[in-house]
A = this chain, B = another copy of it.
Amino acid sequence: MPKDAAITRDRIVAAASRLFYGHGIRAVSVDDVAARAGLTKRTLYYHFRSKDDLIAAYLAARDEPTIVIVMGWMDAAKGSLADKLEAVFAQLARLGRHPKWRGCGFLRTAAELVTTPGHPALKAGAAHKKKLEAEFASRFADAGLADPEMRARQVMLLFDGAFSAMLTHRDASYAEAAGQAAMDLVRGEKMRAVKRRA
């Protein structure tokens, strides 16, 4: 039955996700993941060729859901674009206050795997961030903001900066400061001419 295989695979990815996110890639062994998934390492290696494959699957499984969550925050918020951005960063701060929060899985993986440039997990992480940036840009364009791509990029920089600072200081208020900056960047910018260099 191929369905069983898919179920087992998902269970392994779920176990890997919890452990890799909670403790880091290198800190977690394949044995740990197998034990957490309730099966032996040999079974895990039946479903995944290597630990690197498993890491890639871990991030791939986080891509779409993360984007849905963040854009859900934005679309659910009432008011102006600035208000919506404030809501996004307020929600990020709320996450950051959770005791099990460990920063951004994509950024932390990028930091850990920095020496293996072609790693599929790194590509997945970069693609994920690009997608999120594009979602912001699309909404900024709809709102009539000048230079939506650049503003989206700057908001992403604040977003990733908030992740880093919250992780460094264990202080979620950094996300709120980032939200204020994001608001300032999109406020009163609607019709301003694009006089910046490309």
Interface set of A (CB-CB < 8 Å, partner B): 22-24, 26-27, 102-103, 106-108, 110-112, 114-115, 117, 122, 125-126, 129-130, 150, 153-154, 156-165, 167-170, 174, 177-178, 180-181, 184-185, 196
Contacts and interface: CB of A to CB of B under 8 A. Distances in A.
A194 to B, nearest CB: 11
Label chain A's interface by main secondary structure: helix
Given A103-B114, A107-B164, 10 more contacts: A24-B111, A24-B112, A26-B27, A102-B114, A107-B111, A110-B168, A111-B167, A157-B162, A160-B165, A163-B164
Contacts of A114: 23-24, 102-103, 108, 167
A165 B157 contact: yes
How many chain copies does the complex carry?
A: 2
A23 B115 contact: yes
A126 B168 CA distance: 5
A153 to B, nearest CB: 5
A156 B150 contact: no
Nearest to A173: B153
